[in-house]
Amino acid sequence: MDASPARSQPRLNFALYLCRTWNDLTVLLTIVLCIWALFYAEIVPLYQFDESEAVQSIGWSYVIASVMAGTAMVFELLAILVEYGSVSVKSFPPGVTGDDSKLMLFVYVCLSVSYFKMAISGNQWVHTDPFAAGGARPVYTLRYLEWSICMPLLMAVSAGGHDEGQLKSEADQQEVVASGFMGQVNMVLNLPLLVGDRFLSSPLAASARCTATYIWSSWLALVVDDEAGQTRSD
């Protein structure tokens, strides 16, 4: 049997097309069910915390998590400004950049900010799961927001993709070397554009959309006040 790459590539492309199509159809169906759940049921009230030591310890846990994510954020920032700065980039082959470090910087910023906000906001972004086993429990909405951003982005980092901001030639590298530190600062400021481009160009873009949709449908399944609505939106 001839298993040459030329013969197997069309089959692989067709399989990828089926996966993308199935993911998008799943997203569409899930969104329709979530819209139905929103009209059929209502969002439950915010969770009411007591002043116990356990609640205070949870707040401190979020502070520690925020500091740890912030430390990783500083590391990635230094990797961009120093390791990929005007001195180190001279020895890099064409096409090598710190784009993955910039994307991970965005991930750690989201993590640090969300955990810090969870630590200081009390029940401002905390809803209630009224049908949890053992009684009502808190549902941290900011955590689902962070997941819906970070998980697809981690998928995009692992899968790779074409980046419009990527250095593609020795001339591009020399331009960064000439601009020095301010050039790297400008690349950091263009981080939202890089994130958007990676989301759109990643081979796993359809899977990332499906993942983000699943995360928010899971949140909705926990915070509606009707068990039937929970079942259909999950």
Segment 99-133, tens digit of pLDDT? 777 788 889 999 999 999 988 887 788 888 888 88
Chain CA centroid to CA 57, Å: 27
Query: Going by C-beta distance under 8 Å and a sequence separation of 6 or more, which residues neighbour residue 137?
Result: 47, 128, 129
Q: Is 213 in contact with 221 (CB distance < 8 Å)?
A: no
DSSP notation for 10-69: HHHHHHHHHHHHHHHHHHHHHHHHHHHHHHHS-BPPBP-----HHHHHHHHHHHHHHHHH
Write down the pTM of the prediction.
0.73
pLDDT band at 6 (very low <50, low <70, confident <90, very high): low
Backbone angles phi, psi at 100, to 5 degrees: -65, -35
What's the Cα-to-Cα distance from 66 to each of 54, 71, 104, 112, 230, rounded to whole Å?
Answer: 19, 9, 15, 4, 31
> Structural domain tally of the chain?
1
Q: Is 41 in contact with 226 (CB distance < 8 Å)?
A: yes
Per-residue pLDDT tens digits for 158-213 = 876 544 444 444 445 455 554 555 666 666 677 777 777 777 777 778 888 889 99
Q: How many helices (H) and strands (E) does the chain have?
A: 8, 2
CB atoms within 10 A of CB 106: 22
**Which carries the bigger pLDDT value, residue 222 or residue 195?**
222
CB atoms within 10 A of CB 11: 9
Range of the domain at 160: 5-233
